[in-house]
Structure 1
Amino acid sequence: MKLILIRHGEPNYSIDSLTEKGWREADFLSERISKLPISAIYCSPLGRAKDTAKATLRKLGTEAEILPWLREFDAPIELGGNEKKLVPWDFMPGYWTKQEEFYDRDRWFDNDLMKTGPVKEEYEKVAAGLDELLLKHGYQRDGRLYRAIPGSDDTIVLFCHLGITCVILSHLLGISAQLMWHGFFIAPTSVTIIETEERMNNEAFFRCREVGDTAHLYVKGEPVSNAGFFPRQPK
């Protein structure tokens, strides 16, 4: 089985849609994705993800199933005082690298700051939604691996977001979500591919084949967007 995770195009967050560049990215992406043998397409309920999927769905003449848990990871945390609520991954390295629990796959949400919001609960909701989806396609979670019951050759596409993609990878690969959020940048319309390895009868483990691939932009001469990334600025 193959999962294809796609981040939405360059976002215009003010209207929950795409920038002019984002619409171009989505069109170039559709030329790539529409050529694949896709079994099913799932999408976040947020506008920027649905807009990214439109060109692909139009080319394929199909519709996407909307999955509420595929929306951007929604677990705001509190800094206290007059500070506003924050997403649970936008930390400076001088802080998060000193938090030992952030490096633990089973304890990263036990940090005091994480506990100010529904981080663990939201993570578990996403994990449950993902496992339910995988079971629909023939794979049942069993501890830290999956059972092929009966398994399948399906290729499914998920149009979603940077944060939630990292959560999905965290659950499938057994890596702290904090390490995924801070260690991996997944560019707008990039393609991440995870496929089952089934070397033993009835045992399956999802292995990452590509992370954040933007070849469809490269071949069109379209620059990769830095939306969500903070590169070094010229002095």
Structure 2
Amino acid sequence: MKIYITRHGETQWNNEGLMQGWKNSNLTDKGIENAKRLGERLKDIKFDVIYSSPLGRAIDTAKYINEKINAKVVLVESLKEMGFGIWEGMELNKIKELYFEQYTNFWERPHLYKPQEDGESFQELLVRVRNAWDEIIKAGGDNILIVTHAVVLKAIYMIIKNYQLRTFGIRHL
């Protein structure tokens, strides 16, 4: 089994320096173009399935990639980005100003991070991503593509490498 993993394409909120989580932001023209180019690069691989986060930016990325590879797309709720609660849609600088300690913990000391209103902890994220990972492995296949988000990618890496939360440091992506 070969598993290919990619992050969704560039979004408007990426360009605007806004925190993304469960809320969606549309792909930019560059994000769309990069997804199409990735599809072109992967077109000679016979994919059994594409597993995608159910968030719009990931679905759109999977759709553009799939124009060239024509695989079944399965949406997996547990592959969605980490939920950031009230931080979502806020400028990163504003989050840092208002929530300095937790902002710093999020980026540098994830084991100390405490989510703000309606946010998700790293522990919660890791449990759901591990469940999704285990289900994907159990389903099998020769070639699988996963389209997801930055923090989920890091969680998958941690799961594969059996790293502890203390080493999750987002800045080390």
Give the TM-score taking structure 2 as reference length: 0.72
Further displaced range: 15-24 or 164-173: 15-24
Tell me how large the CA RMSD over aligned residues is.
3.2
Tell me which residue corresponds to 1:130: 133
CA contact (8 A) 1:170 1:180 kept: no
2:128 counterpart letter in structure 1? K
Of the three residues 62, 78, 91, the one matched with 2:104 is: 91
2:160 counterpart letter in structure 1? L
More helix by share: 2
Tell me, yes or no, if structure 1 residue 156 matches structure 2 residue 169. no
Further displaced range: 33-42 or 164-173: 33-42
Equivalences for residues 1-150 of structure 1 within 5 A: 1-13=1-13, 16-74=25-83, 76=85, 83=98, 91=104, 96=108, 108=111, 111=112, 113-114=113-114, 118-119=120-121, 120-137=123-140
TM-superposed CA distance for 1:40, in Å, is 1.4
Gaps of 5+ in 2: 19-23, 88-96
CA contact (8 A) 1:42 1:67 kept: yes
State the distance in 2 between where 1:70 and 1:61 align. Answer: 21
Of the three residues 120, 132, 155, the one matched with 1:167 is: 155
State the distance in 1 between where 2:48 and 2:154 align. Answer: 23
CA contact (8 A) 1:16 1:46 kept: no
Give the TM-score taking structure 1 as reference length: 0.55
TM-superposed CA distance for 1:75, in Å, is 5.2
State the distance in 1 between where 2:105 and 2:46 align. Answer: 41
CA contact (8 A) 1:166 1:180 kept: no
Tell me which residue corresponds to 2:92: none
**Percent sequence identity over matched residues?**
26
Instruction: Specify which structure has the bigger relative contact order, considering alpha-carbon pairs within 8 angstroms and separated by 6 or more residues.
Output: 2
SS at match of 2:6: strand
| Segments of 4+ moved more than 6 angstroms | none
Gaps of 5+ in 1: 103-107, 138-151, 185-235
Q: Against the structure 1 CA distance between its residues 165 and 180, is the aligned structure 2 distance closer, same or farther, given a 3 Å change threshold?
A: farther
Q: Against the structure 1 CA distance between its residues 16 and 133, is the aligned structure 2 distance closer, same or farther, given a 3 Å change threshold?
A: same
SS at match of 2:82: coil
SS at match of 1:17: coil
Q: Against the structure 1 CA distance between its residues 58 and 33, is the aligned structure 2 distance closer, same or farther, given a 3 Å change threshold?
A: same
Aligned pair count reads 151
State the distance in 2 between where 1:70 and 1:129 align. Answer: 7
State the distance in 1 between where 2:148 and 2:105 align. Answer: 25
Which one has the largest radius of gyration? Answer: 1
1:7 counterpart letter in structure 2? R
More strand by share: 1
TM-superposed CA distance for 1:61, in Å, is 3.0
